[in-house]
Chains A and B, each alone.
Chain A
């Protein structure tokens, strides 16, 4: 068949199955400006920046137009240039333009495009009527005064993560993006994965900075500040200093951390090795007993919260292992306090993570002893880069340093934790050796760029079926298949971010496949260069296990528990409250299950009944929401008494019991 071509500004470009005109135009080496186009989420067509002139059809958005053979496209007419400039002017007029203090400054697409298009003046009236900044979440700060309403966060959270806590509210000029029910961000179902931060073109979503707290600790002479660096950080931090993605800069990072004033520099990969041993043993035990399979990994805190919210029935299948970050934290607070002979309060553990969910994880109450957390501060890759810049350190010129021992020693297995498939590969290296009398196994087939991968591995006469999935919507699809019995696995590795931690919410924003592959390769190269490749070979770990970690102690320090978070912990929604104190209180669940069983009708019947009987002045009516699908609905609570499968007659009977009134 003859190849199809389009002409872009006079250049012939073939159409090769691209999903839209925009992608074809890219092949002419023209990057059209956009705010709302991301190849991995659905086309939205709202920013209108990518409009092009198609002969015979006039101006059309290239993101939502398909390329057709013979199309003649112009991307640079006077009309288009005016349009783009004016769009940016319109955005800027409704935007807090204090760029210098914005967390996104320097990486902001609005800033970049405004400069690129030469927008030197905003001719429109500045209208600033923004909702206040929301910093109620432990991981993410939302600043509506920066939002350009591109909807990228809404679609990522919904389509890629299937969490869907963000959406638009209001309309027209008052449109805003809000978290569910316009509740504070910290109280909703957000799993803190930070993928919304990664797509936000401006500073409306950003990781919650803990830089100040870390400086404070460093400057406090009483405190010993130790730091752990997660695997994925070492192949991406360099991007902030002009290195290519995947370039390993561990040596410089270590030197920089010392210059910043950290007392000990350790590697999270050491704790990852420990995780491998714990999780591997746990898996082998379950496998041999045939219990709680498939086993799910538990090192991704966003996935853990996701499971707690949406798959509470699967919680027994989660590995009870803490994540490497938390293993490291509890190990430090237990061991280092002894080695360094200091109080727990004076040992400050900082982690450098590619991830925003780790900020949330460190604040989970089960990871505290009294008021003192196992991990005191969590910095993202970006935050570390800012500290290095603040100090004026010329990163590129630094001589490489080396980790402190014992917690700075790791095997290649601990390092590959940073990319999707790495945990499984590391656990398998260990389990295979155990099952196979010490013989190692090459399990490279677990690697790959696909977000959902299935692998069957034979070790001796054992054959294992593994699922490796990243991106929570992908995880949901896979788990639903497991639930329905359509699929069966022994081990499932889940990472909330597509591609694994190398694409975490705390990483540099670029997330195209090419960047990710380079970061993954960076980790795999490190694995190759290290002396050992299986966690059980880590000599320091062997010593630790021998000397200090009894089975009981290991259980106390390294394992955790989960909680069912299916019920939405929202305040009830007060529908009507009388001025004086209410004598009657009616609460109706309007969650999906109750709704489908007629809760809405029951609600109207009851409110009518209250009014008809002159009880408005003494009755309080509220609604609650839940998504438990308890099958007991409609559930109505009258003065504290819970009525399941409630009918109108049953409710009235109860109301009459509580209060005698006419009729």
Chain B
């Protein structure tokens, strides 16, 4: 929409012609001003060139393009909510059926597709469908755009055939996994979150799997928005699950009970795990709830919201167990579970740390190594930063 809005328009005009539609809507968030202004320019140019409007190319096909700016709700990407929003109603999904193709926008049959899908139409037609379909795998033909980000050397939008493996994407295109400080030391790959905030995660065992629809479905993930967030070994998977859950619970439209209440309660349970309050029942309840939200929600947002939890539970169960039963975070990312300890052999009794501690948790005296009272410690980490002799470890 920003770089080549013409391709989207062209795809939509072709689609309009194919199904006999006379009006097309592009629904785009107001928060993407560049996309909005470039789309408007492109529509104007297309109208002037006679690609849009009445009697296109002298045929009796009329097609009008309208741009609707949405007010920034994730759920308005869901088809029925999107149409409600265009109609001026609250962006809330409706039960399907009726499907948009039967009764859609303003009650009329409606074809609704992703921008990428439309932009691909002219390319595929130009290449010849057979040539286009020869790319990718048998069932997932063609190419797919991914937004590659996270702990990789090169981030950005990439377009690859569906047959490409995860390893090719991370190593060959992304330039390998990097450490938290941005340097590529050949760090170990831990996982990748695929498909946006409600996608699932893939791990080492999937590195040589090609990213097509069927394969992803098999391992409980999805292509979704095409987001690929690469994570290195220092990433805490529970925190990752919590991060995405925070997003979906904020973005739930609030219509159906399981999604509205369930995402919030999953967040509470993840907090319990991260902050050391969890018991065996917490994980059990989390798992049960995740299942209920998945099967019980009305729209795609709720149905997929538990995916990050379910897939981390599936592939990183031992990390959950460590948080819950040993009260430790294997990657040391969860502050509430980390312990700051002074290594007596390294401590020079300089008292710098004790003076820096905001809650006076550190005591000691000259000649004797200092100690941290774990009951008082609030795990702010100031002591570790102040120690000149690296005597404090986490």
Contacts and interface: CB of A to CB of B under 8 A. Distances in A.
Given A51-B296, A172-B263, A43 B256 contact: no
B95 interface: yes
Given A83-B296, A87-B257, A90-B261, A43 B268 contact: no
Given A83-B292, A86-B292, A172 B95 contact: no
A48 B90 contact: no
Interface in A45-90: 45-48, 51, 58-59, 61, 63-66, 79, 82-83, 86-87, 90
B253 interface: yes
A419 to B, nearest CB: 35
Interface in B218-272: 249-258, 260-265, 268
A149 B295 contact: no
A79 B295 contact: yes
B73 interface: yes
Given A86-B288, A93-B265, A48 B258 contact: yes
A123 interface: yes
A171 interface: yes
Give chain A's interface residue range (CB within 8 Å of chain B).
Answer: 35 or more
A45 B298 contact: yes
A114 to B, nearest CB: 13
B101 interface: no
A94 interface: yes
Given A48-B258, A91-B257, A93-B261, A61 B95 contact: yes
A171 B251 contact: yes
B87 to A, nearest CB: 14
Contact of A91 (B261, B268, B298): B261
A125 B254 contact: no
A173 B295 contact: no
A83 B261 contact: no
Given A45-B94, A79-B295, A82-B288, A90 B249 contact: no
Contact of A90 (B90, B258, B295): B258
Contacts of A66: 97
A100 interface: no
B187 interface: no
Given A79-B295, A83-B296, A94-B261, A45 B288 contact: no
Interface string B270-304: 00000000000100010011001001111000000
Contact of B254 (A61, A123, A168): A168
Contacts of B255: 44, 46, 149, 151, 175
Nearest to B265: A124
Given A66-B97, A86-B288, A86-B292, A173 B249 contact: yes
Interface in B331-378: none
Nearest to B298: A45
B257 A48 contact: yes
A149 B95 contact: no
Interface residues of B, number: 34
B251 to A, nearest CB: 7
A127 B264 contact: yes
A90 B253 contact: no
B257 A59 contact: no
Contacts of A45: 94-95, 256, 298
Contacts of A168: 90, 92, 254
A167 interface: yes
A47 B256 contact: yes
Contacts of A59: 295-296
Contact of A149 (B260, B262, B281, B296): B260
Contacts of B254: 149, 168, 170-175
Pick from B96, B249, B260 the residue with the most CB of A within 10 Å: B260
Interface in B156-208: none
A48 B258 CA distance: 8
B256 A173 contact: no
Given A45-B95, A47-B256, A123 B292 contact: no
Contact of A172 (B90, B96, B252, B281): B252
Pick from A51, A125, A173 the residue with the most CB of B within 10 Å: A173
Contacts of A149: 254-255, 257, 260
Given A79-B295, A87-B258, A172 B265 contact: no
Contact of A123 (B258, B260, B285, B296): B285
Pick from A66, A91, A125, A171 the residue with the most CB of B within 10 Å: A171
Contact of A125 (B262, B265, B288): B265
Contacts of B251: 171-172
Contacts of B73: 171
B257 A90 contact: yes
Contacts of A48: 256-258, 296-298
Contacts of A151: 255
B165 to A, nearest CB: 32
A47 B285 contact: no
A66 B97 CA distance: 9
Contacts of A43: 95
A94 B252 CA distance: 16
Contacts of B288: 82, 86
Given A83-B296, A173-B249, A46 B257 contact: yes
Pick from B254, B262, B281, B289 the residue with the most CB of A within 10 Å: B254
Interface string B83-117: 00000001010111100000000000000000000
Contacts of A79: 295
Contacts of B261: 90-91, 93-94, 124, 173
Contacts of B265: 90, 93, 124-125
Given A45-B94, A83-B296, A125-B265, A172 B256 contact: no
A430 to B, nearest CB: 47
B292 A82 contact: yes
A167 B92 CA distance: 12
Interface in A416-444: none
Nearest to A86: B292
B260 A172 contact: yes
A155 B265 CA distance: 28
A124 B268 CA distance: 9
Nearest to A48: B296
A124 B286 CA distance: 10
Contacts of A174: 254
Interface string A93-107: 110000000000000
B95 A64 contact: yes
Nearest to B281: A123
B287 to A, nearest CB: 12
Nearest to B289: A86
A591 to B, nearest CB: 16
Interface in A129-149: 148-149
A83 B264 CA distance: 17
A79 B285 CA distance: 15
Contact of A46 (B96, B249, B281, B298): B298
Pick from A59, A61, A123 the residue with the most CB of B within 10 Å: A123
A125 B268 contact: yes
A153 to B, nearest CB: 15
Contacts of A127: 264, 268
A53 to B, nearest CB: 10
A91 B94 CA distance: 21
A171 B256 contact: no
Interface string B15-38: 000000000000000000000000
B94 A173 contact: no
A395 B90 CA distance: 48
A168 B75 CA distance: 15
Contacts of A125: 265, 268
7 contacts: A87-B296, A127-B264, A168-B90, A170-B254, A172-B260, A173-B252, A173-B263
Given A173-B254, A174-B254, 7 more contacts: A45-B298, A48-B296, A64-B97, A66-B97, A90-B262, A172-B260, A175-B260
Shortest 10 CB-CB contacts between residues of A and residues of B: A175-B254, A64-B95, A45-B95, A90-B261, A172-B252, A173-B264, A46-B256, A48-B296, A124-B265, A86-B292
